Chains A and B, each alone.
Chain A
Amino acid sequence: DTEVTQTPKHLVMGMTNKKSLKCEQHMGHRAMYWYKQKAKKPPELMFVYSYEKLSINESVPSRFSPECPNSSLLNLHLHALQPEDSALYLCASSLLSGSGEQFFGPGTRLTVL
């Protein structure tokens, strides 16, 4: 199994909703990443987890809350988002943090109304 899966594929939520994005990999990778990509822009790093511990938070607002419950799973909890948070949210993993090829998931297309 050499893929990263993300659910849901699409998500529409109101500004008062609470929702979660899920990412899963079964390649034994110990580093997992969340990226945000706005239309026609390159991805921007949000969070890095290494061995299930948060190692990088790129000054992301607290309305985004990551969680890594085990080495295969990465969640992104969303609360009180703004319309400008609408974007494609990409998950990636690599064997180790700081090295190796990154494998990307298909992304979750988020729309905040």
Chain B
Amino acid sequence: KNEVEQSPQNLTAQEGEFITINCSYSVGISALHWLQQHPGGGIVSLFMLSSGKKKHGRLIATINIQEKHSSLHITASHPRDSAVYICAVRSQAGGGADGLTFGKGTHLIIQP
């Protein structure tokens, strides 16, 4: 079973700061997802990565397959970015659950 670790667990920053959230996993994967969840709400998929880097607006996600590590960056952070950010992986084929394995999430608060 894949172990997914995220850091930090909690992060408070000022508006405008550059934010980095890290994710590491223990077993080879076919894809890694970055998800966003606002309090009491459903989950929004931000990125799905299997290699390299993706950018969408102020969000950038990178993955290093050899090091089993991914980062999510937020540039020019804004209070509306406050949410829980969750890293989730789909392990490579070969048995086990077909759904995602989730990290515990990073609770981000951006203060005005």
Contact = CB atoms under 8 A, between A and B. Distances in A.
Interface range, A side: 20 to 34
Contacts, number: 61
Contacts of B44: 104
Nearest to B41: A106
Interface of A is mostly: strand
Contact of B99 (A48, A106, A107): A48
Contacts of A33: 99
Contact of B45 (A97, A104, A106): A104
Interface in B76-112: 86, 88, 90, 93, 97-100, 102-105
Interface stretch (A12-20, A38-46, A62-70, A74-82): A38-46
Nearest to B91: A98
A79 B63 CA distance: 43
Given A56-B98, A97-B98, A42 B42 contact: no
Interface string A94-113: 00011111111111010000
Interface of B: 30-31, 33, 35, 40-45, 48, 86, 88, 90, 93, 97-100, 102-105
